[in-house]
Amino acid sequence: MIQDAAGFAEIVREHQAMVFSIALRFVRDRSVAEELAQDVFLKLYRELPRLESAEHVKFWLRKVTGHRALDYIRSAHRRPELALEEVPEPTADGRESDVLLESSLRKLVSSLPDQARAVIVLRYQEEMEPHEIAEVLGVPAATVKSRLRRSLALLRGKIQRFVGEPIR
Amino acid sequence: MNEMDEQLKRALQRCEPPDGFAERVLARVDREPSPTAKHLAWTLWHRPALRWATAAALVAVAATGIGYHIHQRKEEAEAKTAKQQVMLALRITGSKLRVAKQRVKAVERGTDNVGKTL
């Protein structure tokens, strides 16, 4: 699947939000996420002749972004988990409250430990099945399922402590 | 899918990268060499048939080199033997000539003596 420059530009534009979002939610820093996403696309450019299809490219991007972001987190370990005090209080009803709830949820997800955050982001942002997450993270599917269960339980606990009522 | 799953999906929508992201990526790519040349080298090495062909060619070259070396050594040995044989032949011829010369001289001396006697 050798692409010319125009073809590669199209691939970048098609997948930039996916790559940047995975990187951002893993590393929780916009400038680091951008640098990491750029590196991933540069690597893609070098690897492109060996990738066989559009699906292969998408899978490769998710996998490499995930690995790079987790490597960065492991090597950096400089950002502590976000404190819940940093998360704004949800208020009001209707769409405004939805927006606030979503914002709060993002912050609560962001406060999860690295591995928990990784599976939650891949499951709910990328809507990947556990076996796909397993391939990306290089762990057994059973491990992904148990991490998802634990991560959701952890998140429910955080939400309950934060809003004062359980979410089912 | 429960309420929490739905809320998480809504909350974790993908977000767009900063403006000009794609352009910055493409600018970095412009500074990269074309992947085609690298791909060619990679392809040549990673195709089993080509790898075997390369290995066979290397073995053939090595075998030819060794064969040539053995042939050279054999020729040198044969040349050395021939030289030794020529030297031996020359020595034999030399000694035979010396013997013949001595006999000729002896015969000449005998004839002189006969002449003197007469």
Contacts with A14 from chain B: Cβ below 8 Å: none
**Given this model, what pLDDT does residue A102 score?**
85
**pLDDT for residue A7:** 85
Contact A36, B33 (CB under 8 A): no
* B36: closest chain A residue by CA: A49
Cα-to-chain-centroid distance, residue B34: 34
* pLDDT classification of B109: cutoffs 50, 70, 90: confident
pLDDT of residue B37: 61
Nearest to B11 among A34, A102, A127 (CB): A102
Residue B116's pLDDT band (boundaries 50, 70, 90)?
A: low
Could you tell me the two tokens for B66?
């060794």
As for the ipTM of the complex, it is: 0.77
pTM of the model: 0.63
Examine the pLDDT at B93 and tell me if it is beyond 50.
yes
What pLDDT was estimated at residue A160? 84
Q: What mean pLDDT is predicted for residues B21-37? A: 84
Query: How close A13 gets to chain B, by Cα (Å)?
Result: 6
Task: DSSP for A76-137, please give it.
Answer: H--SPPPPGGGSPPP-SSHHHHHHHHHHHHHHHHHTS-HHHHHHHIIIIIS---HHHHHHHH
Which residue has better confidence, A99 or B89?
A: B89
Of B9, B10, B29, the CB nearest to A45: B29
Q: Chain A: give the shortest CA distance to residue B56, in Å.
A: 26
Q: How confident is the model at residue B38 (pLDDT cuts 50, 70, 90)?
A: low
Identify the segments of chain A with pLDDT beneath 70.
1-3, 77-97, 164-168
Contact A21, A125 (CB under 8 A): yes
- For residue range B47-84, list pLDDT tens digits in order: 777 778 888 899 999 999 999 999 999 999 999 999 99
Task: Give yes or no for a contact between B11 and A102, defined as CB atoms under 8 angstroms apart.
Answer: yes
Task: Name the residue among B13, B21, B29 with its Cβ closest to that of A16.
Answer: B21
CB A137 within 8 A of CB A66: yes
CA distance A91 to B76: 101
The answer to whether the Cβ–Cβ distance between A125 and B42 falls below 8 Å is: no
Q: What pLDDT is attached to residue A9?
A: 92
What per-residue confidence (pLDDT) applies to A159?
A: 85
> What is the mean pLDDT of the segment spanning B9-38?
87
For the cut 50, the answer to whether the pLDDT of residue B28 exceeds it is: yes
How many whole angstroms separate alpha carbon B108 and alpha carbon A58?
114
Which two tokens mark A9?
């530009």
Instruction: Indicate yes or no: CB of B36 within 8 angstroms of CB of A17.
Output: no
Q: What mean pLDDT value characterizes chain B?
A: 84
For residue A74, the distance in angstroms to the closest alpha carbon of chain B comes to 23
Structure tokens belonging to residue B57: 């060619």
- Kindly list the residues from chain A whose CB atom is less than 8 angstroms away from the CB atom of residue B13: 125
Residue B117: which region, alpha, beta or left (left: phi > 0; alpha: psi -120 to 50)?
alpha
What is the DSSP secondary structure assignment for residue B32, as one 8-state letter? S
Identify the pLDDT of residue B20. Answer: 95
pLDDT at A31: 94
pLDDT of residue B1: 62
**Residue B36: pLDDT over 90:** no
